[in-house]
Amino acid sequence: MGRVLAVLVIALAAAQAERLVGLIEVSRHGLRTPLMPMKWANEEEPGVLTKEGQLQKYEHGLSLRKNYSELFGDVYNQHYIDARATNYSRTISSLECQLRGIYPASSSFHIDIYSSDAALLPHTTCPRIREIMNKDQIASTLHQELLEDIKTNREEIEQFAGGLTFEEVFNMSDVLVNYRERGFKIPGSQALSDLANRVYEHILVHLWFGQEEQRRLGVTPLLVEVITRFQALNSADPVPAVSLYCAHDLTLVPFLYLFGIKENPGPGAFLQFELYKEANAAYIRLRYNGNELPVPRCASPCSLPAFLQSLDSYMLPDLLSWKQQCEIGWGSASLLGLGIVSIVLLYQFRYCLFAIR
C-alpha cells in the first residue's frame, strides 16, 4: 500500500511540475552583405546572407535543439512547427539554415512567406508609421543631431560616402557597420567608424520607433499573434507549439524599447516568448539573446492573465483597432491597396551552401 501511495505522489508531483508548452521566437537574419555597393567596398551581391551568416543561424538551430529539446520531435514535421520569414532571401535562407540545425537529417522545410506581413514588417504595412517618420524628417533630424560630427568629419565623409545627403551618409554607415559586424578591417578613421555607428543606431532605434505611437503600432500585430497562440496552447487546442519567425532589426526594435533596451539588434539577435504550465496555472517568460528579461509591469513568474493585462498600455486591443489607427489620414482603401494577403509557399531550399554532414 505504501509503495502504491508513493507512486501516486510521484505521479501527482510530475503532473504539477513546470512544463514548457510553447515557444515563439522572432529573430533577425544572420550576417549579410551591405545593402548598397560602394566604390571602395568589396564587390559583393547586396543584402544577401553570407556563409558566416549561414553558419551563425545553423549553430543557433543547434542551440534551440539543445535548450528546447522537449518541444522538438526527433523527425521534422511541418505541422508541428510554424516557420515564417519575410520575403527576402537573407531571412528565408537564415531560417532554413536554422531549421537544418534543429533537424540535420531533413533536406527541405516548409516556410510561410507573406507578400505583406504586418507582424514582421509593420512599418511596410502601416501607413501611419511612415507618416509619422518620413524620410525628410529622418534626414532633417539626423543632420540636427549629428551636425557637429558631420562638419568635423566632412572631408572624410565625402570621400567615403560621395556626399552629405541622407542616402549617401546612411549607405556609407551601413557598409562600415556591416564590416565591423563581420570582423573586417574598417577603412577610414576611428572617428568615421564611430560616426557611422551613431548614424545607423540613431536612424534605426530613435527615429523609426522613437515615438510611443510608432512603437504601439509596431508591436501590436505580433503581440496579437503571441496572445492568440498562447491562449490556444493553454486551452490544449491543436496548434503548433513552436513558432520560428525570421525578420529584420526593425522588427525587433519596438519590442526592445518595451524592456528599456535602446540598441541596434545585431545579426542573429533573437527575442523569445516562452509559455509554461504548472498545475492549473500558465505563465510567461521572455528572453533576449538567451538572457531572461523582466516582463514589464508583471511580477515574476508572470501569469498568462497578468501578461495580457501588462500589455494594455503598450499595444492596441486588436487588429481591427490597429488597422483603423494605421489608416488615419490615408482613407479606408489605402491599407487594402497594400495587398495584405499571405502567400504560403513550400520551399525546396538551396540557400544553405555549406555542407552539413
Higher pLDDT, 334 or 340: 334
User: What is the arithmetic mean of pLDDT over 246-252?
Assistant: 96
User: What is the arithmetic mean of pLDDT over 94-101?
Assistant: 98
pLDDT greater than 50 at residue 20: yes
For 36-91, give the secondary structure using H, E and C.
CCCCCCCCCCCCCECHHHHHHHHHHHHHHHHHCHHHCCCCCCCCCEEEEECCCHHH
| Grid cell digits, residue 48 | 544577401
pLDDT at 302: 95
Per 3-state DSSP, what percentage of the chain is helix, strand, and coil (rounded to 5)?
A: 50, 15, 35
**What's the predicted TM-score (pTM) here?**
0.86
pLDDT at 148: 79
| 258-289: pLDDT as tens digits | 888 888 899 999 999 999 999 889 999 999 99
Give the number of other Cβ atoms within 10 Å of residue 20's Cβ: 16
User: What is the arithmetic mean of pLDDT over 234-252?
Assistant: 95
pLDDT at 283: 96
pLDDT greater than 90 at residue 142: no
* Start-to-end Cα distance in the chain: 53
How far apart (Å, rounded) are the C-alpha atoms in residues 59 and 53? 10
pLDDT at 341: 30
pLDDT at 169: 86
Taking CA atoms, 113 is separated from 23, 247, 301, in Å, by 20, 11, 34
Higher pLDDT, 142 or 339: 142
Mean pLDDT of the chain: 84
pLDDT at 2: 59
Percent of the residues in the chain that have a pLDDT greater than 90, as a whole number: 60
pLDDT greater than 80 at residue 331: no
pLDDT greater than 80 at residue 348: no
pLDDT at 126: 93
Quick check: 169 and 200 in contact, CB under 8 A?
no
| 173-194: pLDDT as tens digits | 999 999 999 999 988 999 999 9
